[in-house]
């Protein structure tokens, strides 16, 4: 029996060391050497302080900032520990009521009808840091008024922060809300 058990235990220890330690350390080492910013979470720093990640949305509620799309992470929006979709289907009364409430709230803030879809729908993870250019453009007047800026200056900033589809064909054009709001703060200094 010991003749069968020893090779099995040796193989478990060897594979654990190889796939559980050596491989992850090697991949992390390569990632740190080749693309350290991405390997460390695409963190955004200002004045030596980490203020967010370009990969995880943040909740901006002030009229002085561009708002992100709704988050499905429960009572604490953009909580990465609670990442998930809402699991509400197209026939859900709860979803229809929430969307109707969001449309009414956004319309009351001056966003014209039709409200862009991403302004009232959550992403699959509930953490999407991007909004569509249409939703960003719909917020220009509100943000410009709140900051005392000319709408054309804010619209130009939105245009400058639009990210094109990857490789020109993958995905859609998008605007990273955190990066747009940081550029807005820099413009307003």
Contact 139, 67 (CB under 8 A): yes
Separation CA 140–CA 99 (nearest Å): 22
22 contacts 14 by C-beta, under 8 angstroms: no
Could you tell me the residue ranges of all domains in the chain? 2-36, 42-187
Q: What is the pLDDT of residues 123-168, one digit of tens each?
A: 877 788 999 999 999 999 999 999 999 999 999 999 999 999 999 8
189 pLDDT tier (thresholds 50, 70, 90):
low
So what's the pLDDT on residue 27? 94
Closest by Cα among 88, 169, 173, 175 to 128 = 175
Q: Given the DSSP bridges, would you call strands 162-163 and 174-176 parallel, antiparallel or unpaired? A: antiparallel
d(CA 15, CA 143): 56
**Chain-centroid distance, C-alpha 125:** 9
Task: Report if pTM > 0.75.
Answer: yes
List pLDDT tens digits, range 42-62: 888 888 888 888 888 888 888
Peptide bond into 114 cis (omega under 30): yes
Residue 175 pLDDT grade (very low, low, confident, very high; cuts 50, 70, 90): very high
- Number of Cβ within 10 Å of residue 188's Cβ equals 13
For the chain, the residue count is: 189
> ∠ CA 142-144-150 to the nearest 5 degrees?
140
Q: pLDDT value at position 125?
A: 78
3 state DSSP class of 72: coil
Q: What is the largest CA-CA distance in the chain?
A: 82
């Amino acid at each position: 029996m010991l003749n069968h058990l020893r090779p099995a235990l040796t193989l478990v220890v060897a594979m654990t060391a190889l796939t559980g330690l050596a491989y992850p350390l090697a991949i992390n080492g390569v990632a740190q050497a080749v693309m350290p910013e991405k390997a460390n979470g695409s963190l955004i720093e200002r004045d030596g302080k980490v203020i967010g990640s370009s990969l995880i949305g943040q909740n901006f509620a002030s009229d002085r900032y561009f708002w992100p799309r709704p988050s499905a992470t429960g009572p604490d929006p953009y909580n990465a520990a609670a990442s998930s979709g809402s699991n509400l289907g197209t026939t859900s009364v709860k979803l229809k009521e929430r969307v109707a409430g969001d449309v009414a709230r956004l319309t009351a803030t001056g966003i014209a009808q039709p409200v862009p879809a991403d302004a009232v729908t959550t992403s699959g993870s509930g953490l999407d840091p991007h909004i569509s250019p249409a939703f960003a453009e719909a917020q220009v007047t509100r943000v410009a008024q709140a900051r005392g800026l000319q709408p054309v200056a804010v619209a130009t900033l939105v245009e400058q922060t639009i990210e094109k589809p990857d490789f020109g064909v993958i995905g859609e054009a998008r605007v990273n809300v955190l990066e747009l709001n940081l550029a807005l703060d820099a413009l307003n200094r």
